[in-house]
């Protein structure tokens, strides 16, 4: 299919050279850091952010714990769905990697032989970031910030055009938001059932030392005086 950027006069290509040109001027060690961060580091950071948010939600407990954990579970599920949706998109567009058609790029990662549009990394990280935002605004803002940094890294590394990244951001966001209502309708009852489970309830709500769920209402024990008054009344 058509190549979305074919000449140096294309703003997409110009921005690619501008951002990737930073890699040429940077020290070698900094490029190696950006290579790791852009390929693995930011993905790992987002996964840890999701786990941190889950740990915070289950410690806090409350009546909305099940729905909050359901929203967190939806984040990685939506990211997986977005990656699956991207498979036919990449096959339809068939856009070569930028270093295949443009000379002079400083490519930090070798072995990229698949198509370029849209970026899997941008899709995955933005889906996680927006999914986090649906579950928790504070963690979500941090997640979206990491996703934006991931998009910059992909262009900096010379493996994607800027529009590859923008397309990935749009795809990840669309999957999370459009499918969120039916996903939450299915996941929330499931997590409420898990919350009531004696064995698996810890996934949703932290248990106290006595084994009861924190935040849950416990029956109030009657004092001996109350018990005696109730017996006399009977």
pLDDT tens digits for 72-123? 999 999 999 999 999 999 999 889 999 888 888 888 888 788 899 999 999 9
In the predicted structure, residue 1 carries a pLDDT above the cut 60: no
In the predicted structure, residue 225 carries a pLDDT above the cut 50: no
pLDDT at residue 219, as a whole number? 42
Q: Give the integer Cα–Cα distance in Å for 192 and 171.
A: 30
- In terms of residues, how long is the chain? 234
Q: Kindly tell me the burial class for residue 84, based on how many C-beta atoms sit within 10 Å of its own C-beta (0-12, 13-18, 19 or more).
A: exposed
pTM of the model: 0.81
pLDDT band at 16 (very low <50, low <70, confident <90, very high): very high
Neighbouring CB atoms inside 10 A of 75's CB total 28
Q: Give the integer Cα–Cα distance in Å for 134 and 132.
A: 5
Q: Are 4 and 161 in contact (CB under 8 A)?
A: yes
Mean pLDDT of 128-148: 94
Q: Are 116 and 74 in contact (CB under 8 A)?
A: no
- Ordered by where they begin, the domains of the chain are 29-192 (1.20.144.10)
Task: Identify the top-confidence range among 54-58, 132-136, 161-165.
Answer: 161-165
Mean pLDDT of 181-196: 89
Mean pLDDT of 224-229: 44
């Amino acid at each position: 299919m058509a190549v979305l950027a074919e000449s140096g006069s294309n703003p997409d290509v110009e921005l690619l050279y501008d951002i990737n040109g930073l890699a040429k001027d940077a020290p070698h060690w900094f490029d190696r850091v950006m290579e790791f961060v852009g390929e693995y580091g930011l993905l790992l950071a987002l996964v840890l952010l999701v786990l941190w948010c889950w740990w915070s939600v289950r410690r806090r407990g409350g009546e909305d714990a099940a729905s909050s954990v359901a929203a967190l579970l939806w984040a990685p599920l939506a990211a997986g769905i977005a990656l699956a949706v991207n498979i036919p998109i990449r096959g339809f567009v068939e856009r070569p990697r930028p270093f295949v058609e443009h000379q002079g790029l400083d490519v930090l990662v070798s072995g990229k032989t698949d198509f370029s549009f849209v970026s899997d990394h941008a899709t995955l990280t933005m889906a996680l970031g927006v999914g986090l935002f649906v579950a928790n605004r504070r963690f979500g803002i941090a997640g979206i910030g990491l996703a934006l940094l991931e998009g910059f890294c992909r262009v900096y590394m010379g493996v994607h055009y800027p529009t590859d990244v923008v397309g990935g951001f749009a795809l990840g966001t669309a999957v999370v938001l459009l499918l969120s209502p039916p996903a939450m309708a299915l996941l929330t009852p499931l997590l409420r059932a898990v919350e009531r489970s004696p064995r698996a309830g810890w996934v949703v709500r932290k248990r106290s030392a006595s084994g009861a769920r924190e935040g849950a209402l416990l029956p109030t024990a009657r004092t001996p005086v109350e018990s005696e008054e109730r017996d006399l009344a009977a």
